[in-house]
Amino acid sequence: MPSGEMTSTSSTAASPGDPGIVGALHSCCRRRRSRTGRFSLSLILFCCLAALLCGVASADGGAYLPLWEVGANDAVSSVAISQDGSTIVAGAGSVVSLLDQQGTTLWKAAAGSSVNGVGISPEGSYVGVAADKLYLFDRDGNLLWTEKTTFIYRDVALSSDGEYIAATCDNGAIFIFDRNQEQLWDYDMGTDSYGIAISENGRKIAIGCDNGGVYYLNSREGESWSYGTGKRVEGIALTPDAWFVAAGSLDRCVYLSTGEGEHLWKYPTGDAVRSTALTNEASEIFAASGRTVFVLDRAGIELQQIALDGRVESVAVTPDGSFLTIGGGDDDRFIRLFTNDATFIENGNSTETAVNETDPLDGVSGDVTAPPYSADDRMGAAAEPDTQDNSIPSLVLGWVENVLALLFKPQEGFLA
């Protein structure tokens, strides 16, 4: 398979698989240390003021509460949601399902192997599935095409109207197809590739890799910048305009960077981070870590924790933050939809469970409806906002701690 013969546009970014990346990381950390001594008290005060303003904004945000949960026959490895929250796609075992906002299953389809990743175009017209092949469906469940290689597809992401379909493979290759199945580009990362995200216009791509690297690519041009986390990166997310990048690493941290390669912070979660999601302007960052979904603001302050009975495998959110979908692992095989929209919560939708009116797929159990539960049950209790200390002093303190950690305790595995 030919590899993309592209050159990085960043003078400091190491090429994928280049062993020199470690040296670059250490060198950069040394430069960071030499600069930190020049930071004055006025800068710290400025940071505190900024934190105060961010804290006021964060305090006004509502907590996420559950709307419904739908059971699956296997661990829900991947979820995706359209920008308006009307359509949700989920992969569980070898089955991909499309659900509406009420939790009704619109259709199901079986892949030839376990589904590793799913993606949906922003307006919800096309669905991509990464498994033994790359699959493209329309919203009605019609299979438009499949693309097979000798390798396994790990993840897929779609730009607006399915104009570009980007996919990662376990041989390190990145592919871009158009919706007519024409291959537009392939690029060899030099290491196994896992999570992938694409901007709304299809011009920017973010990738998480087995070598611990986070890579930011210009579509059909090559690498723009990269950094290392030290362990495999499975979770990757972009804002629709590609101005912010969130990465989740098996090093138990979630990272936030700008599209220009400025690294803002890393946040320790205590468990491997397997999926991330972002709202517009990175006003909220979501990280699936262990049995918990962490909700952070752009300053790296924790706003909420949502606890599940089993490991969280995947998260996805609408750009405006109104709807959050979560896929549960082996001990918690559910697809869940949450909202922070007071209108839905006040109407009592958070206590309703959707009924699956779709006939089961051959060989797939039709029992996909979970028992009703209320906001006072295990999910609601975990999401209650009054269990968090969201006072302005606490938010300011947390933000300042993040700033000080980056200024005076740089991590060897984080290039900034």
Tell me which residues of the chain have a pLDDT lower than 50.
1-60, 350-390, 394-395, 403-416
pLDDT at res. 37: 39
pLDDT given for residue 40 in this prediction: 41
Supply the pLDDT for residue 237: 98
CA atoms of 36 and 34, how far apart (whole Å): 6
In degrees to the nearest 10, what's the CA dihedral of 210, 215, 220, 224? -150
In a domain, 28, yes or no: yes
Residue 99 lies in a domain: yes
Res 63: pLDDT: 93
DSSP state, residue 132: S
- Predicted confidence at residue 365, as pLDDT, reads 33
pLDDT score, position 348: 53
Give the pLDDT of residue 399: 53
pLDDT at 392: 52
Q: What is the pTM of this model?
A: 0.74
Q: Phi then psi for 379, rounded to 5 degrees?
A: -75, -45
Q: Contact 415/11 with Cβ under 8 angstroms?
A: no
Q: With respect to residue 11, please indicate whether it lies within any of the assigned structural domains.
A: no
Total domains present in the chain: 1
Record the tokens describing residue 279, joined without a space: 């709202």
Domain around 161: 21-408
pLDDT at res. 277: 98
Q: Model confidence over 70-95: pLDDT tens digits?
A: 999 999 999 999 999 999 999 999 99
User: Helix axis angle, 41-59 relative to 392-408, nearest 10°?
Assistant: 140
The pLDDT of residue 369 is 34
The CATH number of whichever domain residue 70 belongs to comes to: 2.130.10.10
Q: Does residue 414 lie in a domain region?
A: no
